[in-house]
Amino acid sequence: MDIQLPHFDSVFSTDCVIFGFEAGELKVLLIERNEEPYQGWYALPGNIVGLEESVDNAAARILYELTGLRDIHMRQFHTFGEVNRHPQGRVVTVGYFALIRIGGQKEVAPLTHFARKAFWHPVNDLPKLAFDHTEIFQRAFKKIRVKMNYEPIAFELLPEKFTLTQLQNLYEAVLNKKLDKRNFRKKMLSYGFLKELMEKQKGVSYRAAKLYKFDRRKYQKIFQTELAAQGAVAS
Amino acid sequence: MDIQLPHFDSVFSTDCVIFGFEAGELKVLLIERNEEPYQGWYALPGNIVGLEESVDNAAARILYELTGLRDIHMRQFHTFGEVNRHPQGRVVTVGYFALIRIGGQKEVAPLTHFARKAFWHPVNDLPKLAFDHTEIFQRAFKKIRVKMNYEPIAFELLPEKFTLTQLQNLYEAVLNKKLDKRNFRKKMLSYGFLKELMEKQKGVSYRAAKLYKFDRRKYQKIFQTELAAQGAVAS
DNA sequence: ATTTAATGTGTAAAATATACACACTATCTT
DNA sequence: AAGATAGTGTGTATATTTTACACATTAAAT
């Protein structure tokens, strides 16, 4: 492998950790790289930020090119600035994460030759990833586990209409912990941002469960008043 | 002002938001810039990251050069990647924050000609800052207000020995909210990481208060077991 | 009609959070 | 030295939140 790769003096890139939920498992979107370095390796979707685009925009563009996913709400979580994280020179990367409905989008597929394929992989039992992407992934995973306790990010992973059991399964998968059914339901419903639909689950061979959807407008109303009241260590 | 400034194609910098607590007020460390652009303006201590140093190290080095402060525990909080945030070209900046004891260090003073002076300024009533530093500051401030609710970062701002009233004043200043004395004390002491000293406050013209110190070892023991048990949405 | 598999529901006990007021003590003043 | 001043230190009752826990119900499949 004596290909001469270009050297980067000082560039920034973004890497995206996209989570999905499928078959009761939390998954992450990976690509198979089709270019050196790390050709053939699995990696997080990521690339160099252009000079004429903001880092936020670059993250969205790169994700689209590598996976076909668009209009994803991505949030920055950490910047990785070690000196030797990239073999071609100095590359500082800004990490983003997002949570999406796996079924809700068209199938993921790269739009450039840069990635050979894009696919979902369970977060447990990940292979070794290119560059320091294992570390980047770990950090994102930890972030969403913590965040799930105080923000309604779980709903981004579920279909629009879901049952309470599905919601609970998701929490259990992410938090890696069994929850009590009655207490879980009581608490979720007490927030007041779940809207009970007139519909029921279809196609199951047992009693069908009620469907709910997440009412973002209500959530924001509640969350705003909480923010105002927030900050308590003691009264 | 027709000085020709160098153009940056693509560099990264760090900016540090250093908080201190003095005279019952939360303060932030600013410098007065001695170079174009924004010569004479107030700014957060920050500069370009070198190619041979990690971003974390650069933040520490730059803070030292601009303010004389050393061995400060700094934490990254956000990266600012808009295209036009710097007049000389494309500069993406990584923001760090830290909380320190104002009295505990030698006086702050710049070690390079790049800053004319370094000084503490109350966080309320900040002047307009250079670049997008006002936004960077705001984001850091919001971060610590939230963080103070679930991590013992307040102690980094106080002298080693402090009274419960001082601690409460600090919480009240940061959270911008009155707290109940009895409940505050009960709760703080219930955590078990405050060590009551045999000493009392000196030099006050009223009943002297007991001094306490923060026992980091105990805190970590408690915090670790909480982390293990953590993640509850419902039991 | 029976089996199967999952849904949907309530209550009591424990833990935590909140609201609230006054006696104490060290220094300062006269 | 007596009183004024200013802030310290402390307890209890009530409300809210969290936890633990089990069984009748429903729809489909056999």
pLDDT tens figures, B152-208: 889 999 999 999 999 999 999 999 899 999 999 999 999 999 999 999 999 899 999
Q: Count CA atoms within 13 Å of residue A132 on its CB side.
A: 20
pLDDT of res. B231? 34
List CB-based contacts (under 7 A) with strand C: A 163-165, 181-183, 185-186, 204-210, 232, 234-235; B 180-183, 186-187, 204-208
Task: Burial-class residue B10 by CB neighbours within 10 Å (0-12, 13-18, 19+).
Answer: middle
Chain A partners within 8 Å of B235 (Cβ): 179-180, 183
Instruction: Considering chain A, tell me which residue range(s) the CATH 1.10.10.10 domain(s) occupy.
Output: 160-229
Q: CATH assignment of A8-147?
A: 3.90.79.10
Chain B partners within 8 Å of A52 (Cβ): 83
Beta bridge partners of A14: A47, A94
Helix, strand, coil shares of chain B as percentages rounded to 5?
A: 30, 30, 40
- The residue among A107, A120, A105, A17 whose CA lies nearest residue A59 is A17
A214 CA to D12 C1' distance (Å): 42
Average pLDDT, chain A: 89
Chain B partners within 8 Å of A139 (Cβ): none
| Tokens representing residue B41 in the block | 């303006």
Q: CATH assignment of B160-229?
A: 1.10.10.10
Calculated CA dihedral for residues A95, A97, A102, A106, nearest 10 degrees: -60
Chain A partners within 8 Å of B11 (Cβ): 10
In whole angstroms, what is the distance from residue A46 CA to residue A87 CA? Answer: 15
Q: Please, what CATH class does the domain formed by B11-147 belong to?
A: alpha beta
Q: Count CA atoms within 13 Å of residue B21 on its CB side.
A: 22
Residues 177-206 of B with CB under 8 A from A: 177, 179-180, 183-184, 186-188
Instruction: Considering chain A, tell me which residue range(s) the CATH 3.90.79.10 domain(s) occupy.
Output: 8-147
**Three-point CA angle A180, A186, A191, nearest 5°:** 125
Report yes or no: B84 at the A interface, CB cutoff 8 Å: no
Percent of chain A with pLDDT over 90: 67
Cβ contact B184–A11 (<8 Å): no
Single-letter code of the amino acid located at A12: F
Cβ contact A94–B81 (<8 Å): yes
Residue with tokens 């924004």: B38
ipTM score assigned to the predicted complex: 0.89
Percent of chain B with pLDDT over 90: 69
Report yes or no: B107 at the A interface, CB cutoff 8 Å: no
Helix H segments across A47-153? 55-67, 133-147
pLDDT of res. A225? 57
Confidence of residue A42 (pLDDT cuts 50, 70, 90): very high
- List the single residue in A with minimal CA-CA distance to B185: A234
Beta-strand ranges (E) seen in chain A are: 8-22, 25-33, 42-43, 46-48, 75-80, 89-99, 115-122, 194-200, 210-214
Average pLDDT, chain B: 89
In whole angstroms, what is the distance from residue A210 CA to residue A161 CA? Answer: 9
**Which H/E stretch holds residue B63?**
helix B55-67
Convert the pLDDT of each residue in A71-83 to its tens digit.
889 999 999 999 9
Helix H segments across A19-132? 55-67
Phi-psi map region of B24: left, alpha, beta (phi>0 left; psi -120 to 50 alpha): left
